[in-house]
Amino acid sequence: MIKDFLILNCIGKNDKIGLRVKDSFFIHELDHKVNKNDQLVSNILNLLKKHKVILNNKFSIIVNNGPGSFSSIRTSFSIAKAMTISKDINLYAFNNSDLKQFDLANIELLIAKGLVQNKLIKPIYLS
């Protein structure tokens, strides 16, 4: 069961990151005026530090695997994979079409329906 998580919705447009911790949900919209890929790690670290998140094997990261921008998806997965390796965090992915709106109710519905995968993650890039 996924309880506390970081969700990365970075596919090149309307990019956001969300954090659910201790029954609270926070959304951070990424600034479209700067290169989001360069700022993603800083934004994640600031969000985790602000809400005093402890990264361990009870925490999960959920990443949007597209379709979307190649660089945005690859950056999201690279950061998520690095965090899973260094902190023993669970990694999941979902398809963009399965999440109708970026809010806690829809994300919990996505999880409840089993639309997040953790076995084989295959990004879908737009060409």
Question: Residue 120: is its pLDDT beyond 70?
Answer: no
* Residues whose CB is less than 8 angstroms from the CB of residue 36 and which lie 6 or more positions away in sequence, other chains included: 10, 15, 30, 72
Instruction: Give mean pLDDT, residues 14-42.
Output: 86
Return the pLDDT at 127: 60
- The mean pLDDT of the chain is 88
Is the pLDDT at 1 greater than 80, yes or no?
no
pTM above 0.75, yes or no: yes
Question: To which H or E segment does residue 10 belong?
Answer: none
| pLDDT value of residue 20 | 96
Kindly state the average pLDDT of the residues 22-36: 83
- The yes-or-no verdict on residue 37 having pLDDT over 90 is no
